[in-house]
């Protein structure tokens, strides 16, 4: 679903992404790990068409990131690190707005809203303003809105930062459930325990991908008991 | 089209739900019209004068009576000493001293001429000019009066060969408020439309929602229209509301066609809204955009001719005003409302605005980038 070959992004002299090469398969949960400033968000923004790469061959959902950005945008969902719902609108209004600008018909928006809220067990709060909802719920709502148009790939940029452990667990259940319906999940995180939940992970350091494999094989290769130790060895 | 409807719906919900914005939109026309129009008037009434009559003759008293009888003057005090009057000038209690020297009547009778002195506070040059003109008017009127009186019947036949008859067109009562109301209306729609749009996209940037919009397949033009239309509608509503208030409170004449006025205003608003969006796009925070917007507002408003006619500005200022959209509408709105000018009279300004609308919207569309 995602192919990147020698992807480079430079900001002046600073190289944020240094020849990244990776592939993500359909229905896979792909973890994008790295310390702060390693270049994860930059890479993700390029894949979403929010930022133009300096060079490299990159395709997302079968479309070229240079020429077919708008087609890519129809096929992907994105949940940014920065909070992305309108605080002064209600849950229903947020769903309606984002569904609307993705071009869904009103009937379909209502159906998807009802369905997604049902699954979240949050239907009772449909007319509450986002400002009155706790952070954990907001994150789950943001995820639901990122998939309101049933994208083939969903990009999550540190979706669980700042939320409590129970909500994090529920969040990962949502991710699994989404992936089970053949949706590719591309997720960045700093939590190494979350890395264990991914099918494959890549670990970035200073703009380069230093390791890319399944969590089990990475642990074996670095002779580590958990992903945390793997990460510390690579990022040191 | 459907996408734009969703954007409009969202913008209107946000505006109507905003607890500071909504009352301001309603109250602003009231406050600006009622307070500013009354305060920013150049009408001269009750000019405080201080009289120093050192002659104390019937002629000098007659002159002072003329001043007292005029609605423009209010006698603040009198004495025999100019110094007393000067003190009143310094404390702003008097605007003018009328100094009649000793021997005023005697000189007038013997030499057929006499002089008197006017000391005017000219810190505000405009006002001083007016005071001087009014005073001259009274004095020359009195001059003629005594000439007639003293020479009796002789003068009655010796009429002046040239007589000037004044007739003030378009504002026969020279009511300054009627001149100010259209100007304030321009300021009103400008402030509303410029600030609301300028703050809008920056706010989405600060909240992070712009990223979420940029990752959708929304088209540039849809986004720009969705951001422009709500504020265009609000600004037109403000204009209609302001016109109604102006009509009810100040009895402002609406001589020309309202259709032409609203048509021109739409084009003008496109210029302002495009510019507001552009400022919003190049700024990173609401503070920054406020600062920049305020700068442009202040310069453009003061140069627009709201208080001082652009005709009396220096040549270079008029050249700068070629790029000042506020100056165009300021001229047009007064022409339409007060003179009843039609499209044929304003087409030059109209086409200039149209060109600026294309430029400013073009700039806004060009600068809006979904991909950084």
DSSP string, A107-132: HHHHHHHHHHHHHHT-GGGTTSBGGG
| Interface contacts (A, B; CB < 8 Å) | 81
Give CA–CA dist A201/A29, Å, rounded: 9
What is the pLDDT, as a whole number, of residue B163?
67
Taking CA–CA distances from A96, the nearest residue in chain B reads B6
Name the residue among B286, B285, B324 with its Cα closest to residue B303.
Answer: B324
User: For residues A15 and A57, is the Cβ–Cβ distance under 8 A?
Assistant: no
Q: What are the pLDDT digits (tens) for B197-231?
A: 999 999 999 988 998 899 999 988 899 999 999 99
In the numeric block, the tokens 């016109």 are attached to B243
Strand ranges inside chain B, DSSP E: 47-53, 73-79, 96-100, 117-120
Give CA–CA dist B241/B224, Å, rounded: 26
Q: What are the pLDDT digits (tens) for B63-119?
A: 899 888 888 888 888 888 888 888 888 888 888 999 999 888 888 888 888 888 999
Q: For residue A49, which residues of chain B lie inside 8 Å, CB to CB?
A: 215, 370-371
What is the pLDDT, as a whole number, of residue B333?
93
Give the confidence band of B174 by pLDDT, cuts at 50, 70, 90. low
User: For residues B139 and B96, is the Cβ–Cβ distance under 8 A?
Assistant: no
Helix/strand/coil for A9: strand
State the SS3 of B240-270. Answer: HHHHHHHHHHHCCCCCCCHHHHHHHHHHHHH
The answer to whether B115 contacts chain A (CB < 8 Å) is: no
Residue B156 pLDDT greater than 60, yes or no:
no
What is the pLDDT, as a whole number, of residue B237?
93
Long-range interactions of A108-111: CB distance < 8 A, separation 24+: A109/A148
Domain range B47-157, its CATH number among 3.40.1360.10, 3.40.630.10, 3.30.750.200, 3.40.1710.10: 3.40.1710.10
Cα distances (Å, whole numbers) of residue A58 to A1, A65, B216:
11, 6, 19
Residues 6+ apart with CB under 8 A from B112: none
What is the pLDDT, as a whole number, of residue B190?
94
B217, B219, B223, B369: best to mutate for the A interface, most A CBs within 10 A:
B217
Look over chain B and give the mean of its residue pLDDT values, rounded to a whole number: 87
Mean pLDDT of all residues in B19-28: 84
Taking CA–CA distances from B13, the nearest residue in chain A reads A89
What phi, psi does A3 have (nearest 5°)? Answer: -130, 130
Q: For residue B215, which residues of chain A lie inside 8 Å, CB to CB?
A: 48-50, 73, 76, 78, 80
Residues 6+ apart with CB under 8 A from B54: B80, B99, B100, B101, B102, B104
Q: What are the pLDDT digits (tens) for B313-330?
A: 888 888 888 889 999 999
What is the pLDDT, as a whole number, of residue B43?
66
The answer to whether B209 contacts chain A (CB < 8 Å) is: yes
What is the pLDDT, as a whole number, of residue B152?
66
Is A50–B214 a contact, with Cβ atoms under 8 angstroms apart? yes
Residue B238 pLDDT greater than 90, yes or no:
yes
What is the pLDDT, as a whole number, of residue B173?
66
Give CA–CA dist A81/B226, Å, rounded: 25
Residue B195 pLDDT greater than 70, yes or no:
yes
Helix/strand/coil for B340: coil
User: For residues B205 and B282, is the Cβ–Cβ distance under 8 A?
Assistant: no
Is A50–B7 a contact, with Cβ atoms under 8 angstroms apart? no
What phi, psi does A157 have (nearest 5°)? Answer: -100, 105
The answer to whether A98 contacts chain B (CB < 8 Å) is: yes
What is the pLDDT, as a whole number, of residue A126?
92
Please count the other Cβ atoms lying within 10 Å of the Cβ belonging to residue A111.
13
Give CA–CA dist A100/A95, Å, rounded: 8
What is the pLDDT, as a whole number, of residue B160?
59
Give the CA angle between residues A69, B197, B199 to the nearest 5°. 90
Mean pLDDT of all residues in B50-67: 89
Mean pLDDT of all residues in B232-259: 92
Please count the other Cβ atoms lying within 10 Å of the Cβ belonging to residue B232.
19
For every residue of B49-98, DSSP letters joined together read EEEEESS--HHHHHHHHHHHHSTTEEEEEEES-HHHHHHHHHTTS-SEEE
Region of residue A78 (phi > 0: left; psi between -120 and 50: alpha; otherwise: beta): beta
- DSSP letter for B108, please: H
The pairing of strands A153-157 and A76-79 is parallel
Tokens encoding A168: 């994090």
Tokens encoding B232: 């265009």
Task: Indicate the helix (H) or strand (E) that contains B197.
Answer: helix B176-207
**Domain assignments of chain B as residue spans, ordered by start:** 2-40+175-367, 47-157
Taking CA–CA distances from B5, the nearest residue in chain A reads A100
What is the pLDDT, as a whole number, of residue B159?
56
What is the pLDDT, as a whole number, of residue A107?
94
Q: For residue A88, which residues of chain B lie inside 8 Å, CB to CB?
A: 13-14, 17-18
Nearest CB to B215 within list A48, A88, A103: A48
Give CA–CA dist A90/A103, Å, rounded: 20
What percent helix, strand, coil does chain B show, rounded to 5? 70, 5, 25
Tokens encoding A187: 């997720």
Tokens encoding B18: 């905003």
Residue B189 pLDDT greater than 90, yes or no:
yes
What is the pLDDT, as a whole number, of residue B36?
81
User: For residues B123 and B76, is the Cβ–Cβ distance under 8 A?
Assistant: no
Q: For residue A53, which residues of chain B lie inside 8 Å, CB to CB?
A: none
Name the residue among B43, B80, B331 with its Cα closest to residue B177.
Answer: B43
**Domain assignments of chain A as residue spans, ordered by start:** 25-53+75-235
Helix pair angle (B21-31, B220-250), 10° resolution: 40
Give CA–CA dist B201/B210, Å, rounded: 8
pLDDT in tens, chain A (236 residues): 899 999 999 998 898 998 999 999 999 999 998 888 888 889 999 999 888 999 999 999 999 999 888 889 999 999 988 778 999 999 999 999 999 999 999 999 999 999 999 998 899 999 999 999 998 899 999 999 999 999 999 999 988 888 888 889 999 999 999 999 999 999 998 888 888 899 999 998 888 888 899 988 988 888 888 888 888 888 77
Q: For residue A157, which residues of chain B lie inside 8 Å, CB to CB?
A: none
Name the residue among A206, A180, A186 with its Cα closest to residue A48.
Answer: A186
Domain A25-53+75-235's class?
alpha beta
Taking CA–CA distances from A101, the nearest residue in chain B reads B3
What is the pLDDT, as a whole number, of residue B330?
92
């Amino acid at each position: 679903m995602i192919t990147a070959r020698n992807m480079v992004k430079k900001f002046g002299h600073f190289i944020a992404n240094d020849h990244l090469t990776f592939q993500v398969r359909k229905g896979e949960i792909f973890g994008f790990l790295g310390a702060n400033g390693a270049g994860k968000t930059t890479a993700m923004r390029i894949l979403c068409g929010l930022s133009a790469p300096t060079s490299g061959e990159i395709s997302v959902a079968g479309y070229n990131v240079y020429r077919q950005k708008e087609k890519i945008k129809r096929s992907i969902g994105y949940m940014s690190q920065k909070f992305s719902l309108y605080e002064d609108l209600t849950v229903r209004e947020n769903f309606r707005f984002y569904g609307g600008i993705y071009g869904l018909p009103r009937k379909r928006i209502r159906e998807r809203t009802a369905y997604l809220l049902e699954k979240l067990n949050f239907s009772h709060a449909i007319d509450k303003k986002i400002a009155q909802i706790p952070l954990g719920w907001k994150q789950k709502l943001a995820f639901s809105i990122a998939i309101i148009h049933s994208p083939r790939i969903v990009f999550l940029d540190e979706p669980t930062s700042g939320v409590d452990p129970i909500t994090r667990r529920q969040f990962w259940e949502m991710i699994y459930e989404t992936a089970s319906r053949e949706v590719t999940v591309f997720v960045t995180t700093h939590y190494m325990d979350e890395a264990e939940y991914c099918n494959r992970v890549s670990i970035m350091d200073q703009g380069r991908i230093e390791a890319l494999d399944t969590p089990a094989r990475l642990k074996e290769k670095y002779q580590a008991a958990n992903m945390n130790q793997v990460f510390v060895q690579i990022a040191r | 089209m459907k996408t734009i409807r969703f954007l409009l719906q969202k913008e209107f919900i946000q505006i109507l739900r905003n607890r500071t914005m909504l009352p301001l939109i309603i109250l602003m026309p009231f406050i600006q019209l009622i307070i500013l129009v009354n305060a920013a008037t150049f009408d001269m009434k009750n000019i405080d004068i201080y009289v120093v009559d050192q002659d104390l003759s019937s002629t000098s008293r007659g002159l002072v009576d003329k001043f007292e009888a005029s609605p423009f003057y209010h006698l603040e005090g009198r004495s025999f000493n100019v110094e007393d009057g000067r003190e009143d000038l310094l404390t702003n209690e008097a605007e003018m001293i009328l100094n009649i020297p000793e021997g005023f009547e005697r000189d007038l009778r013997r030499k057929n001429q006499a002089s008197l002195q006017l000391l005017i506070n000219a810190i505000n040059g405009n006002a001083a000019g007016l005071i001087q003109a009014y005073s001259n008017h009274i004095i020359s009127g009195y001059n003629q009066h005594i000439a007639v009186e003293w020479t009796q019947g002789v003068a009655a036949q010796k009429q002046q060969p040239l007589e000037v008859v004044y007739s003030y067109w378009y504002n026969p009562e020279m009511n300054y408020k009627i001149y100010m109301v259209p100007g304030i209306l321009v300021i009103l729609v400008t402030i509303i439309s410029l600030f609301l749009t300028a703050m809008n996209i920056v706010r989405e940037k600060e909240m992070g929602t712009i990223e979420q919009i940029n990752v959708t397949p929304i088209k540039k033009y849809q986004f720009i229209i969705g951001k422009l239309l709500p504020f265009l509608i609000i600004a037109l509503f403000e204009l209609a509301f302001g016109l109604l208030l102006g009509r009810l409170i100040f009895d402002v004449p609406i001589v020309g066609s309202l259709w032409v006025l609203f048509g021109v205003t739409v084009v003008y608003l496109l210029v302002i809204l495009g510019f507001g969006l552009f400022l919003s796009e190049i700024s990173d925070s609401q503070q920054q955009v406020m600062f920049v917007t305020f700068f442009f507002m202040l310069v453009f408003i003061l140069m627009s001719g709201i208080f001082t006619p652009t005709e009396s500005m220096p040549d270079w200022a008029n050249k700068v005003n070629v790029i000042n959209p506020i100056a165009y509408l300021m001229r047009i709105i007064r022409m339409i409302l007060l003179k009843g000018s039609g499209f044929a009279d304003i087409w030059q300004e109209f086409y200039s605005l149209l060109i600026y609308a294309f430029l400013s919207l073009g700039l806004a569309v060009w600068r809006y980038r979904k991909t950084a």
